[in-house]
Amino acid sequence: MQVDKTKKKQALAAMKKLQLKEKFVLSVLKDALKSHTWDTLEADNFNLLADLAFQRQADQEKHTTIDSQEGQQLYEDDGIDALYDHHVDARFEHKPMRSMETSEKRSFEAGTSSFCKRPKQDGIEIGSKTNTVADVFYGPASEPLRHAKFDSSEKLELDFSNDAAPPCGNLPSFNVNNSRASCSAIKYDLHLQNRSDFQVKSETDHEQDHNLGGTANTLNSHKPDFKLASSGRKLSEGDKLQEEALAENKLRISKDKEFSHERELKQINLKIEYQGERSCQVFDRREASCATESKNLSLPSVDPITDGVKGGLVADGTAQQDTLSICELDCLNGVRVKQDHLWVPKKKGISFDLDVESTSRHNPLDISRGEENIPIPLAGDVVGNLSPEFYYTSKCVIYQNAPVTFSLAKVPEDECCSSCFGDCLNSPIACACSKETGGEYAYNADGCLHDWFLRKAIKEKIRWDVYPRDYYCPSMSSCPIERLKYVRKIESCKGHLLRKFVKECWRKCGCDKRCGNRVVQRGISRRLEVFWAPHGKGWGVRTLENLPAGAFVCEYVGEILTHEELEGRKMSKSGYLKQPFPLLLDADLCSDHVLKNGEPLCLDSTHYGNIARFINHRCYDANVLDIPILIESTDRHYYHVAYFTNRVVEVREELTWDYEIDFDDKHSLKAFQCRCGSRFCRGRDYKLSEIS
């Protein structure tokens, strides 16, 4: 059957949105047309075609051989294969969700189908490749970062929902461009499309500022958070004007000075002008701040814009200059805001200047301060410090009492490979270090986890998710973790997942440092970046390169604490641990050996940590998995926690990990309003119930 070019183009465009390759789609289309009419294929925005394409993709993937049958046999089949097939599809976002109930199928609309690989939440495509401001300014990550790049014809889609709040909470956010060569200031006019969807059209306005070293700075994704009056509520004068301002596209945000990207001392002048005919207070200034977000981020509720306002603004359109008292604010993230003038220019509404000083100790080009093999940059699309402040360390450090000592004498001869040479992976006989994984190395020659190991580890987690009760701690109410909790009623332990460990070769082994069985100890080798994550999650981590499944991302590094010490920390400071997440080293807690108080350990990256402290949580279908790694000893009560990708992860995708939060546990300090966006989100009900 002949299909005209336009139709074919439409089909390809729709499939492209689902990240299906053109060649692949053409071949599916060719076969599909043998048994289906064009009309059925194109109905519901190519629903059937998408279905067939994903079916074909799934069939092809089924035929992919698992690379080590012997290794797989290591672990006897535990009967959860069916579950695995069901859930792995969900975890592997890039696979079709074939196992979904038909009733779950929503009508397909390119990019929103239930078969769409990227789940959506509230209409926001997670990890989507729409033009974010950062994308437009910096281009795709494969291009050198931090070059001002802006196509004034581009329309930027900015998300003014609760998502892209600047780290400094109350401050407008702006880009810092580290390129010293170019210099441009960009003015935006905000255009109101509808109440929840703004679009920002740009007008480039190149201004050279040689006085400040020619450093470029672009005002970016300003999140005014101008709340429109909710329907049903009587509009105040301010609300009305605010709505009017937005509706009339009269709001202009610009900055009029360049500044140096070095964070020690920075002066930024931002101007927000209302360009309507009517002057006076255009919007409630408190509402112009990111107040909602600041609550989530535990930022001070002080509003630098509103605080200190002296006197009111005139309502009759005549000019009046108003001065703010100096308001200095130390946001938790270290940004200090100094504001000394708020003035109302004649006829043109309001305008104000903010001077921002940053006091961060982190170098945005490498927050690791050279601790890692490769720099860990802080994405340049927002200004703000990493909060709360911490010291970057690439190796775990003992806080005080943790009984962790390593010595060569403690490593038994049969638990190392002193007679090995070079690369153990090339040795015809697997060395003693592979005993932990049944005589097979967990890593392949590319330094990634073998598929068989990865799949087992994923299954392990799924089993845990589905049958947590199978994992009750044998010691139940005497669980060493529960015993330490400062709650009146000691609850019986909800269980600890007994994990499969990987043992790496180490100093007592005869092999080379480059031996293939030494991956985690060699440190980060992939290009990663800390960025301001979408959907109000705060900072996050994304990859700047495509990662295969099983790739080592980073280790979770922090202070090694005893449980008593951790509980003490929790008690000592209200709100402590709200940001970084302490991690229990409980991968072997349920074995026969019952640990005494003080023995169970945990890692806390609040004060000392590495990039892992920025990895955000995602319920269930996160793309990285934590694997316990033994390096210096085979004593499982202290081990390294390493993150590996559990599927292919694309460049610029956010890396997420399932914190295994018990959202039902109201005592848990860990609980937060989950904004992971996963369709399997466990925290959503919690969130809704908490809000209502």
CA distances from 238 to 291, 313, 508 (A): 17, 11, 72
Scored b (16 or more CB within 10 A) or e, 569-587 reads: bbeeeeebebbbbbbbbbb
Closest approach of ligand SAM to the CB of residue 555, in Å: 14
| Closer residue to ligand SAM (CB): 462 or 611 | 611
Closest approach of ligand SAM to the CB of residue 163, in Å: 11
Closest approach of ligand SAM to the CB of residue 333, in Å: 9
**Selected range binding ligand SAM among 146-154, 251-259, 544-552, 576-584, rule: CB under 6 A:** 576-584
Q: 610 and 554 in contact (C-beta within 8 Å)?
A: yes
| Closer residue to ligand SAM (CB): 54 or 532 | 532
Closest approach of ligand SAM to the CB of residue 537, in Å: 4
| Closer residue to ligand SAM (CB): 618 or 636 | 618
Closest approach of ligand SAM to the CB of residue 165, in Å: 11
Burial of 429 (0-12, 13-18, 19+ CB in 10 A): exposed
Q: 487 and 117 in contact (C-beta within 8 Å)?
A: no
CA distances from 189 to 246, 269, 344 (A): 10, 18, 19
Closest approach of ligand SAM to the CB of residue 549, in Å: 22
Closest approach of ligand SAM to the CB of residue 674, in Å: 5
Please state the φ and ψ torsions of residue 46, each to the nearest 5 degrees: 65, 35
| Closer residue to ligand SAM (CB): 380 or 538 | 538
Strands (E), 366-430: 391-392, 397-398
Q: How is 69-102 classified by DSSP, letter by letter? A: HHHHHTSPP-S-HHHHHHHHHHHSTTS--TTS-G
**Taking the CB of residue 650, how many other CB atoms lie within 10 A of it?**
17
Site for ligand SAM in 357-396 (CB under 6 A): none
Two structure tokens written together for 686: 């919690």
Query: Across-strand partners of 155?
Result: 201
Q: How many CA atoms lie within 13 A of 24 on its CB side?
A: 17
| Closer residue to ligand SAM (CB): 195 or 578 | 578
Site for ligand SAM in 610-669 (CB under 6 A): 613-614, 616-617
Identified binder of ligand SAM from the candidate list 674, 679, 684, 686, rule CB under 6 A: 674
Identified binder of ligand SAM from the candidate list 36, 120, 257, 578, rule CB under 6 A: 578
| Closer residue to ligand SAM (CB): 161 or 279 | 161
Identified binder of ligand SAM from the candidate list 450, 456, 542, 675, rule CB under 6 A: 675
| Closer residue to ligand SAM (CB): 540 or 600 | 540
Closest approach of ligand SAM to the CB of residue 448, in Å: 24
Question: How many residues belong to the site for ligand SAM (CB under 6 A)?
Answer: 17
Two structure tokens written together for 522: 């060699």
Q: Which of 668, 548, 663, 561 is nearest to 617 (CA)?
A: 663
CA 113 to mean position of chain CA atoms:
24
Closest approach of ligand SAM to the CB of residue 683, in Å: 7
Identified binder of ligand SAM from the candidate list 283, 620, 672, 686, rule CB under 6 A: 672
| Closer residue to ligand SAM (CB): 581 or 644 | 581
Give the relative orientation of helices 5-16 and 22-35 as an angle to the nearest 10 degrees: 120
**Residue 223 in contact with ligand SAM, rule: CB under 6 A:** no
Identified binder of ligand SAM from the candidate list 114, 306, 579, 633, rule CB under 6 A: 579
Identified binder of ligand SAM from the candidate list 38, 274, 581, 644, rule CB under 6 A: 581
Identified binder of ligand SAM from the candidate list 113, 676, 679, 682, rule CB under 6 A: 676
Site string for ligand SAM, 518-547 (x = CB under 6 A): -------------------xxxx-------
What is the torsion angle, in degrees rounded to the nearest 10, for the CA atoms of residue 383, residue 388, residue 391 and residue 392? -60
| Closer residue to ligand SAM (CB): 220 or 616 | 616
**Selected range binding ligand SAM among 128-136, 197-205, 428-436, 609-617, rule: CB under 6 A:** 609-617
Provide the greatest CA pair distance for the chain: 89
Two structure tokens written together for 653: 């995708």
Three-state secondary structure call for residue 452: helix
Closest approach of ligand SAM to the CB of residue 164, in Å: 13
Give the relative orientation of helices 5-16 and 38-62 as an angle to the nearest 10 degrees: 40
Closest approach of ligand SAM to the CB of residue 581, in Å: 4
Closest approach of ligand SAM to the CB of residue 553, in Å: 14
**Selected range binding ligand SAM among 100-108, 238-246, 431-439, 575-583, rule: CB under 6 A:** 575-583
Q: Which of 608, 618, 603 is nearest to 649 (CA)?
A: 618
| Closer residue to ligand SAM (CB): 224 or 384 | 384
Closest approach of ligand SAM to the CB of residue 363, in Å: 17
Calpha distance 586→601 (Å, rounded): 8
45: left (phi over 0), alpha (psi -120 to 50) or beta: left
CA distances from 297 to 163, 169, 578 (A): 12, 8, 9
Site string for ligand SAM, 227-256 (x = CB under 6 A): ------------------------------
| Closer residue to ligand SAM (CB): 516 or 538 | 538
Instruction: Give the N- to C-terminal CA distance of the chain in Å, as an integer.
Output: 56
Cα three-residue angle 136-132-92, rounded to 5 degrees: 120
| Closer residue to ligand SAM (CB): 494 or 687 | 687
| Closer residue to ligand SAM (CB): 57 or 360 | 360
* Element at 503 (helix H, strand E): strand 502-503
Closest approach of ligand SAM to the CB of residue 90, in Å: 16
Calpha distance 668→686 (Å, rounded): 13
| Closer residue to ligand SAM (CB): 276 or 538 | 538
Closest approach of ligand SAM to the CB of residue 617, in Å: 4
Q: How does DSSP classify residue 356?
A: E
Q: Closest residue (Cβ) to ligand SAM? A: 538
| Closer residue to ligand SAM (CB): 262 or 389 | 389
Calpha distance 455→85 (Å, rounded): 11
Residues in CB range of 634: below 8 A, 6 or more apart? 411, 412, 415, 436, 503
**Selected range binding ligand SAM among 117-125, 322-330, 485-493, 671-679, rule: CB under 6 A:** 671-679
| Closer residue to ligand SAM (CB): 243 or 658 | 658
Closest approach of ligand SAM to the CB of residue 355, in Å: 25
**Selected range binding ligand SAM among 168-176, 338-346, 483-491, 670-678, rule: CB under 6 A:** 670-678
CA distances from 470 to 249, 460, 464, 473, 664 (A): 59, 12, 8, 9, 18
| Closer residue to ligand SAM (CB): 150 or 620 | 620
Q: How does DSSP classify residue 186?
A: E
Closest approach of ligand SAM to the CB of residue 18, in Å: 24
Chain residues that interact with ligand SAM, rule: CB under 6 A = 537-540, 578-581, 613-614, 616-617, 672-676
